A and B are shown apart, each in its own frame.
Chain A
């Protein structure tokens, strides 16, 4: 048996593939992060497949108002006899969907303005920064309430107002992290190479500022999600009959004085999702910054 007299070369790979990296990272994730990811996944499934998972449709009246849980309606019925459980499932789609769209718009606007301001500096940077400073001095919820009073209550207005208000916060962060990136040698050499603006932004700067922005995306999503829920709860956000968790809490709030925990279900649904996202973000922060205390 002298077929392999020469010692076999170790199989050395130049670098791990993206998939291998993801698997490697997932293996080291703590329990809280796993819990968070699984919860987010379940929410996503419910949001996407709502019509197939819900026993009744969003606005179908199936019985009398304020019935307790039974085989017909798992969690009972709401103030006009709609199935609470089905509305909770549709609520996932509506509430999370609106929050995700809002956060995406705010990152698109705030992020691109931030990177551009860091790259161009000069009057653009000064102008946008001063305006943003003034807006940062007003609490988001108060400002959103005022703007909704002016332009009227509707989902589109809600998304635009919150996205723009949130974009001011995103602008601050993306400008700050992009400022560190634009002074790097690789940006300088790309400029000397004669690369265009698009290349410098998307191939040189964005990949290097992505980790803090992704973490921020998670946190901003939570904030937007909570603000939308609060506004809907106050009756000026998502309007009925759309199933939405915040307004469902408001619709069923009288039940709690009769010892029926109905308004707690949608509120708990909101709380569980934000807790889950926070756990994942916390783990991600720990991994990417390495600046956290302890180790």
Chain B
């Protein structure tokens, strides 16, 4: 078997295994609830019969492994059960139906930020690496160090204060609905996307700079320079083929970071995405929703890292041209 294919398959297997382990962790967290779930929902005054009925209705009286298999089996088909917020009433709300439009909104926002942030930070990072220790490098370095250290909500409120309150250029609250047109959606999501762009540009640029500098310090680059290859050729022919792997890692790491950063930013701008939904569900202890959100966030995080690994493997010159 071709070594590339073999390594990719190994990595995929490992990824599936990680997803499995993570789903078990997320599922079993619910079992750790002190006093059982029903007691928490129904209150201290609940009679044993009500608790029993409640548990039976939700299927909580069955053994844990049966429930896990059912939960994960339905989850991979996109069904996360019913939200607890409607159980005491007559209307059952399906978690998937609540999540679907919000998931679209979140991916919309993340994609907006990524489209701007990825090319820009790669460019800035490579420039900083090529002209390292210049004024440009130093200024960019201290600015990014400062931006990284700031909480997302500080940047978010700062932007909101200046661009939405002092100068009314953008919306301070990003209310969008399903009837919002595409460009209106872009317009309303500008400030949250800008906040996330600023946060990840700093990370990405520093990581790009570090990995390019690391690469340029390799002996084969020095060899190429010494034998008189032009500067652009050194970068394009010698450095770039080996740079895809670190660049893919940097991009994936930061997109994964975006997944987490989205939670705070959505809450600041009251953007109806999955992050805000998870926070609401945590406050009301609506466990099916919390678990579904946690699984989606974790799966996105794992898949992005897996993707980066696969890109690194498939572009690795050493693996592509085996001896």
Q: Are B154 and A268 in contact (CB under 8 A)?
A: yes
Q: Are B302 and A229 in contact (CB under 8 A)?
A: no
A151 and B287 CA atoms in complex are apart in Å by 11
Give the distance to chain A from B172, nearest Cβ to Cβ, in Å: 6
Q: Is A23's beta carbon under 8 Å from chain B?
A: no
Q: In this complex, what residue of A is CB-closest to B29?
A: A150
Q: Are B161 and A264 in contact (CB under 8 A)?
A: yes
| Interface-side segment among A86-94, A136-144, A193-201 | A136-144
Q: Are B166 and A279 in contact (CB under 8 A)?
A: no
Give the residues from 1 to 42 in chain B that come closer than 8 angstroms, CB to CB, to chain A: 18, 21-22, 25-26, 29-30, 32-34
Q: In this complex, what residue of B is CB-closest to A270?
A: B151
A89 and B122 CA atoms in complex are apart in Å by 41
Give the residues from 225 to 266 in chain A that come closer than 8 angstroms, CB to CB, to chain B: 226, 229-230, 233-236, 246, 249, 253, 256-259, 261, 263-264
Give the residues from 258 to 316 in chain B that come closer than 8 angstroms, CB to CB, to chain A: 259-260, 263-264, 267-268, 278-279, 281-283, 285, 287, 290-291, 293-294, 297-298, 301-302, 305
- Decide yes or no: A236 and B298 within 8 Å by CB, A256-B157, A279-B145 being known contacts: no
A274 and B146 CA atoms in complex are apart in Å by 9
Kindly identify which residue among A134, A142, A261 contacts B260, using a CB–CB cutoff of 8 Å. A142
A257 and B22 CA atoms in complex are apart in Å by 41
- A residues less than 8 Å from B153 (CB atoms): 229-230, 233, 249, 267
- Decide yes or no: A145 and B282 within 8 Å by CB, A138-B301, A230-B264 being known contacts: yes
- B residues less than 8 Å from A142 (CB atoms): 260, 263, 278, 293-294, 297-298, 301
Q: Are B278 and A145 in contact (CB under 8 A)?
A: yes
Give the distance to chain B from A36, nearest Cβ to Cβ, in Å: 10
Kindly identify which residue among B22, B146, B166 contacts A138, using a CB–CB cutoff of 8 Å. B22
Kindly identify which residue among B132, B213, B267, B301 contacts A233, using a CB–CB cutoff of 8 Å. B267
- Per-residue CB proximity of A13-32 to B under 8 Å, as 1/0? 00000000000000000001
- Interface size on A, as a range, is 35 or more
The number of inter-chain residue pairs (CB within 8 angstroms) is 146
- A residues less than 8 Å from B301 (CB atoms): 137-139, 142
A9 and B26 CA atoms in complex are apart in Å by 72
Q: Are B302 and A234 in contact (CB under 8 A)?
A: no
Kindly identify which residue among B165, B256, B282, B298 contacts A149, using a CB–CB cutoff of 8 Å. B282
- Per-residue CB proximity of B102-143 to A under 8 Å, as 1/0? 000000000000000000000000000000110000000010
- Per-residue CB proximity of B153-191 to A under 8 Å, as 1/0? 110011011000110000010000000000000000000
Q: Are A138 and B298 in contact (CB under 8 A)?
A: yes
A-B contact pairs, 9 of them (CB 8 A): A134-B25, A135-B25, A143-B294, A152-B285, A233-B267, A234-B279, A236-B279, A246-B151, A267-B154
15 more A-B residue pairs beyond the given contacts A139-B301, A246-B151, A267-B153, with a C-beta to C-beta distance below 8 A? A134-B21, A134-B25, A137-B305, A138-B294, A145-B278, A145-B294, A150-B32, A150-B33, A229-B153, A235-B279, A257-B172, A267-B151, A267-B158, A275-B150, A278-B149
